[in-house]
Structure 1
Amino acid sequence: MSGGANFKERTVQNILLQFFRDDRTKVNAEALNLMTELLNIFVSEAVLRTVNEAKKDHQDQIPLDYFEKILPQLLLDF
């Protein structure tokens, strides 16, 4: 996905490890790759929907309200 979000796998791995209860839990390369791609798509889609919502109201800047507006549907779609 060009021009979209681009998280590093190491960053995603560190985020995931913070939520594991057992310190011995590991993330294999395939799962890490999948989670990184999912996060990239999710964030890119959130930005795109937020921008489109702001464009409908002819806004030059995008306040947080627009993100809050698209968030429920975005979470349902994912």
Structure 2
Amino acid sequence: MAENGASFKLSTVEKIVKHHFQDNGKTRMNTDSVKLTTELLRLFVLEMAARSCDQARSEGAETVEVEHLEKILPQLLLDF
């Protein structure tokens, strides 16, 4: 799952997701759901990076700064 330079450990994603469940001691995730959640997270991060780069480029900046991410974040969250 390391395509395009973004990857996450399945175990880390599973722990993060389980942390937000109400009864995280009894909740289980099957392997396919963990893989799917991890892939969604990877795509989200890649899209965020691409949009931030486009925003920086449109402003004539050579580097992406936090302000560029802040500008694209509302629309990104609505799109995803």
- Regarding TM over 0.5, the answer is yes
Q: Percent identical across equivalent pairs?
A: 41
Given that 1:4 and 1:40 are in contact with CA atoms closer than 8 Å, whether structure 2 keeps it comes out as no
Structure-2 separation of matches of 1:31 and 1:50: 28
Of 2-11 and 13-22, the range deviating more from structure 2: 2-11
Render the CA deviation track for 1:21-54: whole Å, top value 9, x for unaligned.
1110011111101100000000110011001100
Aligned-pair Cα RMSD in Å: 1.3
* Counterpart pick for 1:64 among 63, 66, 77: 66
Aligned residue in 1 for 2:26: 24
Structure-2 separation of matches of 1:31 and 1:39: 12
Q: Does 2:13 align with 1:6? A: no
Structure-1 separation of matches of 2:30 and 2:18: 12
Question: TM-score, normalization: structure 1?
Answer: 0.91
Structure 1 runs, 4 residues or longer, greater than 2 Å off: none
Gap runs ≥5 in structure 2:
none
Higher relative contact order (CA 8 A, sep 6+): 1
Question: TM-score, normalization: structure 2?
Answer: 0.89
Aligned residue in 1 for 2:40: 38
Matched length: 78
